Structure 1
Amino acid sequence: MNDSAELAREQAAVDSIYQVLDDNRTRYRQQQRAIEAHGATGSPQNRSERDVMSAHLGDQAARLEGVEERLVFGQITPLKGEKLYIGRVGLQDRNHQQVLMDWRAKAATPFYQATARHPLGMASRRHIGLHRRKVISLEDEAFNISHARKEGIELQGEGALLAALQAERSGRMGDIVATIQGEQDRIIRAKTSQILVIQGGPGTGKTAVALHRAAFLLYEQSERLAKSGVLIVGPSPAFLRYIEQVLPALGETGVVSTTISTLLPAVRAQATEHPKIAALKGDLRWVKLIKQAVRSLQRVPDCPQTISVGATKLLLAPQTVREAIKHARLSAKPHNQAREIFVTQVLDALTDQYLDIENRREREQLASAASAAGLEEIETVRDDLSERAFVREEIRANINARRAINLCWMPYSAQNLLRRLYAYPAFLARFAKEFTLAEQEILYRPKTADFTPADVPLLDELAELLGEVPSANSSSSTKAARQVHEKELSRAQAAIEAQGLGDGIVSATMLASRAGESVEQIALSERAYRDRSWTYGHVVVDEAQELSPMDWRCLLRRCPSRSFTVVGDLAQRIWGGKTGWKELLGPAASALEEEAYLTVCYRTPKEIMDLAESVSAAAGRPSPYPVQAVRNDPGCLVTRQVAAIDSPVLENVIKEEIVYLDNQLGKGRGRIALICGKNDFAGLRDICSQLPFRVGIDPISERVCLLDAVTSKGLEFDSVILLEPAHIGKQSVGNLFVAMTRPTRHLVTLHTEPLPAGWN
């Protein structure tokens, strides 16, 4: 609907809502400046109360400042009652009247789930299209008019949805908050408390649904998640850049985004390796191997060890070491932290031995002196505690004692121990009894080799058992910092409760991180990213069909509550084999609470989807959950056999696609990807460098880019030029399925070799 009078009425309503937004932003900032103007005076409790209010107001203002674009996108009119506007955030005017309902609120559910068959008490729904702050389109649906879509698919806001789908790709994923469909909304609002799997084929919006679910949980469980945060795990850095604007556009920023390769602080696992080696590293047999390797660092000597401390000879007996090891293990602390208990007990035993020797020597000397003087005995006055402390430190500092103790309980870092396992076959063989000799051999690599993504869960497993390598001042400084933080946390919590802000977006933990000069002032997301042992309130895992069992152990460690949203498509899995999510989740399978299915493909034309599924089926990998595409485009497929894929061929094809997109979307708009097999990438990059226009390798910022099929996972483009599909299919049928389903408009295929079976 584009009736001018109706557009004007809605424009007035939208203007009014934006005015409330501006007023709230201004009021929050003014109140924050007024509070901060008082300065850091008064009692600690007074300062905490000022800090908590300032932080609360600042965060409220920042949240509203991030939701300018498409603030209002819908309206619902109940059969009884007043119409309700739906938007990115909830807004109240100065009189506390609700002028805009947050899309995540329960009252907004009918906007997404009402249909003609099930109107949920609604008379009508309106989609409002905005450009900046101007109303440019209206689309109405009346629920008292019965209608049925072809093939049983009901699309909410069909006009708005198709407009969004037909818009050019920008290089960044946009939110779908204005066009969420009913099946998507039910998954977003699902009440599962543990693992929810979202199975969805290409173009079903599964990634967007997962991100909107994260935003929904941050809204619904704000108090819990404000303290722990949300972790998003994606398949590649390019994918994370692609989705990074979605949650901020929904008013949520307290999220950590990472790949498996960058999950551990200070570890960058960017090297590549053969898929067979990566699969072997993902095997759960590593759990036992790693545990035994760490235990091997705690060893009892075969015979007593002589330690010279000055003129005194001490013996470190095997029994002493055995008892100290047993005592340290009972603490259940990681290896490097339990070592201090071991060292303490060994030092105590050596100190006792030293004092016994010295006391015996002293008694003998005094007896000899008394005999020479004709006395029965000579009395002495001793400070036993002072002497014991002195002797203990002398032994601790003695190089011979340190060497002997280290040989019995060696401190070790996770990285050094894993490098040692790879570089020394005999050392690995001691613990790899469940691995064949051939498996052990392919794990070998020099100690200087870089880590790969498959090493990350092994490093994490080792770090969990080893703990941090102690430094000279780490214990005392950490303890002091913890005491300061706990004090600030207690004070902040009291301030929050005193001002009734417990349900706000500022928590005591957030405030404590800002309070006091001795506490580092960093955001929760940054603190979580730096801390390997941080546990999150919720974890979103995308392209989860590729994770190994060891990957899952690594992720489960970061979310003890098992609150996960797991996203993927079994048809896009690189390797075949396991066919169900229960199998693929490995150690996480016991926490699987619900599997949800997205069945409608919105992005990819039906012709492309049919072709991709035909090729996969012919290769013996039929899609276990085929989807129904809602768009037809008979001209979307172009297939050409060429003598060679060289500069002239690529130049002509790319120019044709640029002209096509310029005509369809406007000059310079739309994005093109050249997708090839991994082994073809280097050669094609050289060819592209000879073209008279730029072909980059960054799929986010370049209008025309070259990338391999694996890197294209999760991304989308207006046009895809698929190069030698047979090469991709030989490496992985799943990768070919991924590459074929990236475009929203055109799939142009160039090949010199025969096309894969099933290509009609």
Structure 2
Amino acid sequence: MPGHRLAPDIPGDQHQPDPPDSLSPLNDHPSDPPRDPAKVTAGPPEVPIGDEPTDVLQAERAHLAISRAALRAMREHAQSLSADAAGDWVSRQVLQGLLDQRVAALADHPDTPLFFGRLDRAGDDDLPVTIHVGRRHVHDDGSRPLVIDWRAPVSRAFYQARPSEPMGVRLRRRFGFHGGELTAYEDEPLDQGTALKESRILTEEIERPRTGPMRDIVATIQPDQDEIVRADLTRTVCVQGAPGTGKTAVGLHRAAYLLFTHREKLSRAGVMIVGPNRAFLSYISSVLPALGEVKVDQTTVAGILGDHAAPEDPAIATIKGDARMAPVLHRALWLHISKPEEGVLITRGVNRFRVPDHEVREIVAALRGTTRYGPGRAALAQRLAHAVLVRMEQRGESPDDRVQDAVARSKPVKQLVDQIWPKVTPQQVLFRLLSDGDFLAAAAAKSDLTPEEREALLWAKPPRSWKSAKWSAADAGLLDELADLIERTPTLGHVVVDEAQDLSAMQLRALGRRCRTGSATVLGDLAQGTTPWSARSWEEVLRHLGFDEGDVTELTLGFRVPREVLDFAARLLPSVAPTLAAPRSLRPGAGSLTVRRAGDLTAALVEAVRAAAAREGSIGVIAADAATPAAADALAAAGLPHDLLGPDSSAEQRVSVIPASLAKGLEYDHVIVVEPAEIADAEARGLARLYVVLTRAVTALTVLHTRDLPPQLT
């Protein structure tokens, strides 16, 4: 039976659980208030290892102090290293960058537990009998490990071991912390064959009020999540996750695991996290640094493709995002190549060398379609120059590579290449495609776009030139496709894509080009698809990414959203995603849902915010985008400090007013949803948007309305 004890010399256990995307880490926030110790000491009284609770905690605190001192020594040693030994300035800069990263990775956060678990092993191998599992590896000056990184193979037993398969572990210990101070422990015997009881530390960790940005879940990763996290680098993993199942956290922890396991390879190739918006990235920004990974790019699709934001009809954006645009763009680019009508004549001294037009046509035909447009243009110049060199050799000359390069750069060759294979930019090609009806018709075969779709794509009033064109977000995907057809897009070592169900086929193709190795983590929830082009299946998403195979895993067990709230939101599922299984929550959440019809919506909102403010945790007021200014004005008039969240802003106040379109991926302890019918009516997939909004609460949800609720909710 688990033993869960509190140190008698501490005035009350200060441990407060924190509901995460899944199960949150033992990572207390410094602002967390103290709690009633009775909530912690309610566990079984036995301590399986036979020591007194005070002795156990004192010994573990001593190990924590030694470990922190060792980490400081490791960091000081890293700071003492100099890059001056490098031979040249460039090498010194590179080495100094690596040293800076090492120092940053060894930072010790005093409010974060250095280790969160311990394994007592059977000791039948060369590994230590006792292992403390933490966020990073720590060793003393004799290289003796004091804390083992959670990503190390031996640490897997902390997440996967169970009485039926103990994995060589005799006992697993979990720790409770507050502000980095060890306050409690809980033991789980794994070698006695008896079923484990529910972990109180784990349960309370789920229910701790959330404050500040998202934190890691490394202390509470569940076995099914751990399998995803430790999936091999060569595998593409797709996670369909209901609200609160921890899909985002799993993706971030998989990135951290892969960086640990394949450090050298991924340090060269790079890892990228792609989120839906800047507010979301701000929310998750501290997770990887807390795990010691300080050099991971975190960006949005707009950050990759270009922040183009010209307004556009959603119907037109849907056509531009369709995969049928890919062959249209391909033909549009290669239509710029013209049929050679003449050869090339090179004069060197008194000699003249001619390559006839029929041979030029053969060279162009051999190159066309076998290379990208840009390299093909360069290869054409070299092929023409080589044909000239053949003629020189036939006359008894002995030209070398320098002569061939000179001929390739000569004016006659350059003029012919410009005439046949002109240099173009993605913007030039797309401008011509959207402004020239005949060219669009030639590029779009009958099987690609209908006449009505072609007519919709054409600009009503084309800009004067491609330089003055204002591009939309959908255009950005087309420009990236063209850019890759001209020059190959560099490939990363691993890409994590969150909220992937909302990306168009052309956006997915753009991301797939950046992970051609097939190493990607794709995260999302089909039920939360809110764009007109939202995916209907993950097989479709993987196909657009360019992966013929991928492991699709569904997470349906939630840890964050209370069951009462999740069941209410799930009434929308038959309308927005009828093929998905209804999510389940481990948290009953009795009394967590309040649905109230208000006579005065403004007064009801102010009252609800004040009531929530009397309790612990963050507060999110979510309304239709057009209604958020009025909600913010109402709070300001009532003297309630708040932030009005924008696409590129992050919250600083305890109360945030959030447009419904930005709520995805965020979470708050107390959520107040204003006028659900208005959110549902604001866009074509408004019910899916409402499903997202209703699942942002981790403690309590209050729904205020004057209009009738959508019938699915009644």
TM-score normalised by structure 2 residue count: 0.79
In structure 2, relative to structure 1, the CA distance for the partners of 1:417 and 1:204 (3 Å cut) is: same
In structure 2, relative to structure 1, the CA distance for the partners of 1:279 and 1:223 (3 Å cut) is: same
- Confirm whether residue 596 of structure 1 aligns to residue 553 of structure 2: yes
- Confirm whether residue 104 of structure 1 aligns to residue 151 of structure 2: yes
Contact 1:77/1:122 (CA < 8 Å) preserved in 2?
A: yes
In structure 2, relative to structure 1, the CA distance for the partners of 1:462 and 1:672 (3 Å cut) is: same
- What residue is the counterpart of 2:418 in the other structure? 406
Q: What is the aligned counterpart of 2:6 among 2, 13, 29?
A: 2
Q: What is the aligned counterpart of 2:211 among 151, 169, 182?
A: 169
Shift in Å at residue 271 of structure 1? 3.6
- Confirm whether residue 115 of structure 1 aligns to residue 162 of structure 2: yes
- What residue is the counterpart of 2:614 in the other structure? 663
CA-to-aligned-CA distance 1:455-475 (integer Å, 9 cap, x gap): 3332222112223xxxxxxxx
CA-to-aligned-CA distance 1:199-225 (integer Å, 9 cap, x gap): 210001110011101111111111221
- What residue is the counterpart of 2:188 in the other structure? 141
3-state SS of paired residue (1:208): helix
- What residue is the counterpart of 2:349 in the other structure? none
In structure 2, relative to structure 1, the CA distance for the partners of 1:7 and 1:289 (3 Å cut) is: same
> Structure 2 CA distance, aligned partners of 1:322 and 1:536?
37
Looking at secondary structure, tell me which structure has more helix per residue. Answer: 1
3-state SS of paired residue (1:721): strand
- What residue is the counterpart of 1:29 in the other structure? 79
3-state SS of paired residue (1:583): helix
The unaligned stretches of length 5 or more in structure 1 are 150-154, 307-313, 354-382, 468-531
Q: What is the aligned counterpart of 2:580 among 619, 624, 627?
A: 624
> Structure 2 CA distance, aligned partners of 1:659 and 1:683?
17
- What residue is the counterpart of 1:62 in the other structure? 104
In structure 2, relative to structure 1, the CA distance for the partners of 1:658 and 1:319 (3 Å cut) is: same
Q: Please say which structure displays the higher CA radius of gyration.
A: 1
3-state SS of paired residue (2:294): coil
> Structure 1 CA distance, aligned partners of 2:455 and 2:230?
49
CA-to-aligned-CA distance 1:117-159 (integer Å, 9 cap, x gap): 544343332222334442233233334483477xxxxx6x442
Contact 1:549/1:585 (CA < 8 Å) preserved in 2?
A: no
3-state SS of paired residue (2:338): coil
- What residue is the counterpart of 1:340 in the other structure? 378
> Structure 1 CA distance, aligned partners of 2:270 and 2:534?
35
Give the stretch that moved more between structures: 587-596 or 241-250.
Answer: 587-596
State the aligned residue count.
637
Query: What letter matches 1:631 in structure 2?
Result: R
Alignment of 1:238-637 (within 5 A): 238-264=279-305, 267-300=306-339, 319=358, 322-323=361-362, 325-326=364-365, 328-329=367-368, 332-343=370-381, 406-433=418-445, 434-445=448-459, 446-447=462-463, 448-467=468-487, 533-574=489-530, 579-588=536-545, 590-617=547-574, 619=575, 621-622=577-578, 624-637=580-593
Query: What letter matches 2:181 in structure 1?
Result: K
Shift in Å at residue 87 of structure 1? 0.6
Contact 1:429/1:440 (CA < 8 Å) preserved in 2?
A: yes
Query: What letter matches 2:235 in structure 1?
Result: Q
The unaligned stretches of length 5 or more in structure 2 are 9-53, 346-352, 392-396
> Structure 1 CA distance, aligned partners of 2:261 and 2:608?
45
- What residue is the counterpart of 2:120 in the other structure? 77
> Structure 2 CA distance, aligned partners of 1:317 and 1:688?
79
> Structure 2 CA distance, aligned partners of 1:87 and 1:394?
61
- What residue is the counterpart of 1:757 in the other structure? 711
Contact 1:541/1:567 (CA < 8 Å) preserved in 2?
A: yes
Shift in Å at residue 51 of structure 1? 8.6
In structure 2, relative to structure 1, the CA distance for the partners of 1:241 and 1:695 (3 Å cut) is: closer
3-state SS of paired residue (2:644): coil
Give the stretch that moved more between structures: 629-638 or 654-663.
Answer: 654-663
In structure 2, relative to structure 1, the CA distance for the partners of 1:317 and 1:205 (3 Å cut) is: same
Contact 1:228/1:535 (CA < 8 Å) preserved in 2?
A: yes
In structure 2, relative to structure 1, the CA distance for the partners of 1:324 and 1:727 (3 Å cut) is: same
Query: What letter matches 2:70 in structure 1?
Result: V
> Structure 2 CA distance, aligned partners of 1:52 and 1:546?
38
- What residue is the counterpart of 2:688 in the other structure? 734
Shift in Å at residue 624 of structure 1? 0.6
> Structure 1 CA distance, aligned partners of 2:578 and 2:611?
33
Query: What letter matches 2:418 in structure 1?
Result: N
3-state SS of paired residue (1:460): helix
CA-to-aligned-CA distance 1:424-481 (integer Å, 9 cap, x gap): 22321221122111111222333445333333332222112223xxxxxxxxxxxxxx
- Confirm whether residue 219 of structure 1 aligns to residue 260 of structure 2: yes
> Structure 2 CA distance, aligned partners of 1:66 and 1:413?
49
- Confirm whether residue 127 of structure 1 aligns to residue 165 of structure 2: no
- What residue is the counterpart of 2:698 in the other structure? 744
Contact 1:696/1:706 (CA < 8 Å) preserved in 2?
A: yes
Shift in Å at residue 84 of structure 1? 1.6
3-state SS of paired residue (1:139): strand
> Structure 2 CA distance, aligned partners of 1:234 and 1:53?
31
> Structure 1 CA distance, aligned partners of 2:375 and 2:534?
42
In structure 2, relative to structure 1, the CA distance for the partners of 1:140 and 1:673 (3 Å cut) is: farther
CA-to-aligned-CA distance 1:492-519 (integer Å, 9 cap, x gap): xxxxxxxxxxxxxxxxxxxxxxxxxxxx
Shift in Å at residue 40 of structure 1? 5.9
Contact 1:605/1:633 (CA < 8 Å) preserved in 2?
A: yes
Query: What letter matches 1:635 in structure 2?
Result: G
Shift in Å at residue 541 of structure 1? 1.2
Identity of aligned residues (%): 32
Give the stretch that moved more between structures: 584-593 or 543-552.
Answer: 584-593
> Structure 2 CA distance, aligned partners of 1:3 and 1:351?
87
3-state SS of paired residue (1:239): helix
Shift in Å at residue 60 of structure 1? 3.4
- What residue is the counterpart of 1:518 in the other structure? none
